[in-house]
Structure 1
Amino acid sequence: MNKPVILDFDHSTGTIADAFRIELGQWQEAIRFGCSQAKFKQLQGELARQLPACYGTVLMGSGDYHHVSLLLIKRLQQYFSATNPIQIVIFDNHPDNMRYLFGIHCGSWVSYVAQLPFVSHVHVLGITSDDIGLAHCWENRLAPLFQGKLTYWCMDVQVGWAKKIGLQQAFRAFASPEELISAFIHAQQQTSESVYVSIDKDVLGKDVVQTNWDQGRMQLEHLLSVIAALNQRIIGSDITGEVSQWQYTSLLKRLLSAMDKQEPIPAVTLAAWQQQHHAVNQQLLTALAQHQQTAS
């Protein structure tokens, strides 16, 4: 079994038995929330130097680093191609497919994944965010949706606008997590393509874990059901969504993060929340190790 990796930007993950830890605290200000394409490329080089040849699930800390998943997925291009593609399954309360003018950030990376020639399709499961509602529809990058390479699996959001512009096939709306998960598992039974799984724990309800992002309705059992159904098709995985705090020196990042309305968290509360995350991580890591291929 390949060992998990901790990309330790924010020191929020805690101790994971047998994990290979890469200290990246010096990158926190530059990469957290978002960065220029040039800085992102520098991080890509740093990961190429430090990641082991083979590894298991990668833990990256806060959901503010979810765009780093793109770099992990790009590493799979040596194993896959347009004629032997993979699917990407993302659990997230947000589409992460929004427009961003300053490079790449945690809310815009999905469109880049959809452009990769060895990726046949991207599924984002569990969205309840208004990011895909009418008021924010213009902020979504529509190209991968029109191209049939991206599907939003959502709940509790009015997405009728999508049908009016011919995108109904890219939006799968459900009344409950159970209905969503059942439909997704059924759809996956029609294919044998390999899968990369990326989990942002803001997809989970607040009764499971607390994050400093708005959260969805999924329960841990829903994620575990999908992981089990995908079984040995999983060829890589990552986990984000830890809770941590950071005071940016960049004025732009301070302004943009303030728009997300993330409130300061007392130290005692933060520690308790991180313990919740640790317990969830252990269950996810066990399931992913059981059902993931030994590769990558």
Structure 2
Amino acid sequence: MDDRISILNFDHVYQNQSFYVREKYDWIDLSDIPNTNLFCEQDALKRIAARLKERPPSFLRFIGSGNYHYITYLFLSRIQKPFSLVLIDHHTDTLPSPSDALISCGSWVLQSLQHLPMLKRVLIIGADTDGYKHIPPSIAKKVKIMTKYEPLTAQTDITGHIDTDSVYISIDKDVLSKKEAITSWDQGTLTLKALANILKAIFQSKKVEGVDVCGEYPMNPSNEYTKLGKQAALKNNRANQFILDKVKLYFYSHNKKLTPALFQKANDLSQQI
């Protein structure tokens, strides 16, 4: 794992957070590319892909608002071996796109299964019970949903549904309860501690090809100094710090590269949650 993380600047939300400032991070400005919010045109997606290709590769990426979750499609397209996607999300993101010329935050999982032959299976953790209603029959055999109501207590509960040795993990913080994070979408009930257990189980048994995180509360000059805006920035910064530390902890410990300082930092943060 490269120590460098990627901060994708679509919507300026990370300017109100500090979890990354003591890390080696690559700030990738994408805010000048039009037609990217919620729905992304193919020309815009090509421009984003070209800009990302120019930057150093990273294992952990922070995307911004869930409106840009479709960027995960680009990260998945780089994987050149059979793999599974573990999507930790309150939504399935398997709705048909309104146009073949568009990819959206609600369609990217479907389009990934349709266009990326190395993606063999998708495990969605934390979606609501009606999630299967949004899974088209054409991909139903490749998708497993573990709803927010299912207990996730054993490692086999999760990894038993993953057939490949390699996985990619994508986290949308709308899977978390409002006590843990604030997003602009309806949210689930997962706690950060439960999320940590899920990540730990995956890292212990699978080769993780990469991780990305989205689900920020959109910020603009009219709301960043409001009570809700400040609360969202504070909670999401704390959640992002927790996820960052846990990903580093589990990666290094699994690869026998864990330092005492890293272990202590992650352990201290866990005690605060």
TM-score of the pair, normalised by structure 2: 0.80
Distance of 1:265 and 1:12 partners within structure 2: 9
Unmatched 5+ stretches in structure 2? 256-273
Q: Does 1:57 align with 2:60?
A: yes
CA distance in 1, matches of 2:39, 2:211: 21
Q: 2:137 aligns with which of 142, 158, 168?
A: 142
1:88-113 CA deviation, whole Å, 9 max, x = no partner? Answer: 10111111000121311000000122
Pairing partner for 2:159 from 170, 188, 196: 188
Normalization by structure 1: what TM-score? Answer: 0.74
Query: What amino acid is aligned across from residue 237 of structure 1 in structure 2?
Result: V
CA contact (8 A) 1:185 1:226 kept: no
Map 1:148-159; keep pairs closer than 5 Å.
148-155=141-148
1:244 aligns with 2:241: no
Q: Secondary structure at the match of 1:7?
A: strand
Match of 2:127 in 1: 127
TM-superposed CA distance for 1:283, in Å, is 1.0
Which residues of 2 match residues 221-232 of structure 1 at below 5 A?
A: 221-231=193-203
Maintained 8 Å contact 1:63/1:106: yes
Identity rate, percent: 28
State the Cα RMSD in Å: 2.4
Q: Residue 28 of structure 2 aligns with which residue?
A: 22
Alignment of 1:67 onto 2:70: yes
The answer to whether 1:76 aligns with 2:48 is: no
Counterpart Cα distance in 1 of 2:163 and 2:120: 11
**Cα distance in structure 2, aligned partners of 1:227 and 1:96:** 20
- 1:35 equivalent among 36, 40, 43: 40
Distance 1:126 1:239, change over 3 A: same
Deviation for aligned residue 1:187: 4.6
Describe the superposition over 1:8-29 as per-residue Cα deviations: whole angstroms up to 9, x where unpaired.
11111233122211111112x4
Q: After TM superposition, where is structure 1 displaced by more than 4 Å over at least 4 residues in a row?
A: 189-192
Q: 1:213 to 1:266 in 2, by over 3 A?
A: farther
Q: Which residue is 2:265 aligned to? A: none
Please state how far the C-alpha of 1:129 moved relative to its aligned partner: 7.0
The corresponding residue for 2:180 is 208
Alpha-carbon distance between aligned partners in 2 of 1:125 and 1:198, rounded to the nearest angstrom: 10
Partner Cα separation in structure 2 for residue 243 and residue 230 of structure 1: 27
Whether the 8 Å contact between 1:94 and 1:129 is mirrored in structure 2 is: no
| 1:166 match | none
Deviations 1:113-154 (A, max 9, x none): 223211121111101275x37xxx3x6433111xx2112222
TM-superposition CA deviations, 1:231-273 (whole Å, max 9, x none): 25212000000101469xxxxxxxxxxxxxxxx7873321221
* CA-to-aligned-CA distance 1:158-201 (integer Å, 9 cap, x gap): xxxxxxxxxxxxxxxxxx35x1x236743515756111100000
- Provide the residue aligned with 1:257 in structure 2: none
**CA displacement at 1:35 relative to structure 2:** 1.6
Opposite residue 144 of structure 1, the aligned amino acid is: I
SS in 1 for 2:111: helix
What SS does the aligned partner of 2:35 have? helix
CA deviations over 1:188-225 (Å, ceiling 9, x no partner): 15756111100000000112111110001111111110
**How many residues matched?**
240
Aligned partner of 1:207: which letter? K
Contact 2:12 2:219 in 1 (8 A): no
Q: 1:241 to 1:187 in 2, by over 3 A?
A: closer
Match of 1:111 in 2: 110
The structure-2 alpha-carbon separation of the partners of 1:74 and 1:125, relative to structure 1 and needing over 3 Å to count, comes to same
| Counterpart amino acid of residue 32 in structure 1 | N
Show CA shifts across 1:9-56 (max 9, x none).
1111233122211111112x421111222322232122112x20x312
